[in-house]
Amino acid sequence: MTHAEHIPGSPPASLDQARQLAAALLSERGEASGALIARQLQQTMRALDADGRHGFQSYLASAFQPDAAALQDAAKRYLADGTAAAAAALADAADPPRQEVLRRMNMAPGGTASLIAMRSEIAGRLGSEPELKLLDADLKHLFVSWFNRGFLELRRIDWQSPAAVLEKLIAYEAVHEIKGWDDLRRRLAPDRRCFAFFHPALPGEPLIFVEVALVQGLATAVPPLLVQDADQDSAGLRAAHADTAIFYSISNCQDGLRGVSFGNFLIKQVVEELQAEFPQLKRFSTLSPIPGFRRWLSQQPQSGGNEVAMLRELDREGWWHDAATCETLRPVLMRLCAQYLTRSPASGNRIDPVARFHLGNGARLERINWLGNTADRAMAESFGIMVNYLYDHDSIERNHEAFARVGEIVRSPQVDALL
């Protein structure tokens, strides 16, 4: 096909073809040759440019509605008799054919990956094209079912892993940037562990991964965890003597799977794996950022002139290199940060997203660390303050319920002392 052949305004041949193939998937032909058609559709989609994909996505979002007459019928019947069977029949009638199309698209090799890519691509247009929300919801519904915990495989990632997997860690690391292969290698040294969930339909594609440091005592700052240390043997020794596992980075890899939660499962299974490999470990904790602290602080009315003056200091580049400034600011900021992190969601407060994740998983707010990370982003977000969330097996359910039911922020006495 040349550009000359393309009549403006009409859909290009391959978009047309994609539509026809998608429709064929639900037809008689689809019954006989579903897997083949799905493969052809897969190839056709690969040939589409951004406009073509946009067109195809809109088509998927709008073309495969449930049969209106049948659905009205089922709705009326349910309203009339309200039995479980009528409810089930109604669920059946409401099940959108779009989901069935997507399931059949998945039959092709690479189908799952291409549906995930599609959801990633439409994310940015959900606001302007609300009809895509139905497609987005159907994709998410399928992904929640397909990426069920029971189908995920936990794999350790180390220096024996394929380079093709390792380069994805470099690409996806969202918390502490991996600066190339030497940096990566340090993260996979004998006193580090990295685990990821994989799905059989996406071999070689981590869904989420966590980086763990095996250390003595609760790590309170990031730099010692990332520092280069070439000696494998002494790293092995450190691992053998560690009493604490620090989860210092956890990154989701697949934007198209947003809203499908993996993190909670991952942390808990990794705790079990580590406990089995290192029975001497006594403590499992994160070392986490506080992405919302500075923004929150800037929205607070300042209590007095002194404080205002002090906080103005924070605009100075490199203020934290000045010991005197630090001494003045530290008690104020630590108190404010403790206040920020312990506000109850029950009173309508917006909880810090990282805090919400870990507290929701049943972790406890354990420690707030002054200058735990002086990297640019951490300084910008939280003046370098970092926090430990502790995962204590015996109190996880209780903590979670306290947080989920009454919005209680379970915390250590050390945190209380800052308030």
- Residue numbers 55-84 binding its own copies by CB under 8 A: 62, 65-66, 68, 71-72, 75-76, 78-79, 82, 84
Of 6, 51, 70, 85, the one binding its own copies (CB under 8 A) is 85
Calculate the dihedral angle through the C-alpha atoms of 362, 363, 364, 368, rounding to the nearest 10 degrees. -150
Is 108 an interacting residue with respect to its own copies (CB under 8 A)? yes
Neighbours of 310 (CB within 10 A): 16
Using alpha carbons, select from 32, 30, 63, 60 the residue that is nearest to residue 48.
Answer: 60
Residue 213, token pair as written in the block: 């440091």
Binding mask 35-54 for its own copies (x = CB under 8 A): xx-x----------------
Tell which positions 113-142 bind its own copies, by CB under 8 A.
131, 133-134, 137, 142
Is 353 an interacting residue with respect to its own copies (CB under 8 A)? no
DSSP string, 128-141: T-TTHHHHHHHHHH
Count interface residues toward its own copies (CB under 8 A): 76
Q: How far is the CB of 392 from its own copies (least distance, A)?
A: 13
Using alpha carbons, select from 292, 274, 280 the residue that is nearest to residue 381.
Answer: 292
Residue placing its CB nearer to its own copies in the complex, 232 or 414: 232
Residue placing its CB nearer to its own copies in the complex, 112 or 285: 112
Using alpha carbons, select from 165, 372, 189, 171 the residue that is nearest to residue 285.
Answer: 372
Using the structure block, give the residue that is written with the tokens 């092995």.
Answer: 236
Residue placing its CB nearer to its own copies in the complex, 95 or 322: 95
Is 148 an interacting residue with respect to its own copies (CB under 8 A)? yes
Is 185 an interacting residue with respect to its own copies (CB under 8 A)? yes
Residue placing its CB nearer to its own copies in the complex, 83 or 306: 83
Active-site residue flag, 298 = no
Beta carbons of 112 and 201 less than 8 angstroms apart: yes
Among the candidate windows 106-114, 242-250, 287-295, 349-357, which touches its own copies by CB under 8 A? 106-114
Binding mask 194-213 for its own copies (x = CB under 8 A): ------xx--x---------
Q: How far is the CB of 389 from its own copies (least distance, A)?
A: 13
Residue placing its CB nearer to its own copies in the complex, 182 or 416: 182
Maximum alpha-carbon separation in the chain: 78
- What gap in Å lies between CA 403 and CA 235, rounded to an integer? 38
- What gap in Å lies between CA 77 and CA 331, rounded to an integer? 66
Is 395 an interacting residue with respect to its own copies (CB under 8 A)? no
C-alpha distances (whole Å) from 81 to each of 7, 71, 85, 95, 375 are 55, 15, 10, 20, 63
Is 33 an interacting residue with respect to its own copies (CB under 8 A)? yes
Q: How far is the CB of 336 from its own copies (least distance, A)?
A: 29
Q: How far is the CB of 373 from its own copies (least distance, A)?
A: 27
- What gap in Å lies between CA 372 and CA 360, rounded to an integer? 23
Which position among 14, 161, 176, 358 bears the catalytic label?
A: 358
Q: CA angle, corner 190, sides to 272 and 277, nearest 5?
A: 25
Beta carbons of 216 and 244 less than 8 angstroms apart: yes
Is 31 an interacting residue with respect to its own copies (CB under 8 A)? yes
Query: How many Cα atoms sit within 13 Å of 374 on the Cβ side?
Result: 11
Is 107 an interacting residue with respect to its own copies (CB under 8 A)? yes
Beta carbons of 174 and 252 less than 8 angstroms apart: yes
Tell which positions 258-317 bind its own copies, by CB under 8 A.
264-265, 268-269
Residue placing its CB nearer to its own copies in the complex, 54 or 185: 185
Q: Which residues pair with 367 in a beta bridge?
A: 388
Residue placing its CB nearer to its own copies in the complex, 169 or 297: 169
3-state secondary structure at position 192: strand
Q: How far is the CB of 257 from its own copies (least distance, A)?
A: 16
Of 397, 414, 416, 419, the one binding its own copies (CB under 8 A) is 397
Is 189 an interacting residue with respect to its own copies (CB under 8 A)? no
Is 88 an interacting residue with respect to its own copies (CB under 8 A)? yes
**Burial zone of 217 (CB within 10 Å; 0-12 exposed, 13-18 middle, 19+ buried):** exposed
Active-site residue flag, 358 = yes
Which position among 288, 344, 395, 412 bears the catalytic label?
A: 288
Among the candidate windows 3-11, 155-163, 223-231, 349-357, which touches its own copies by CB under 8 A? 155-163
Residues with active-site annotation: 288, 358
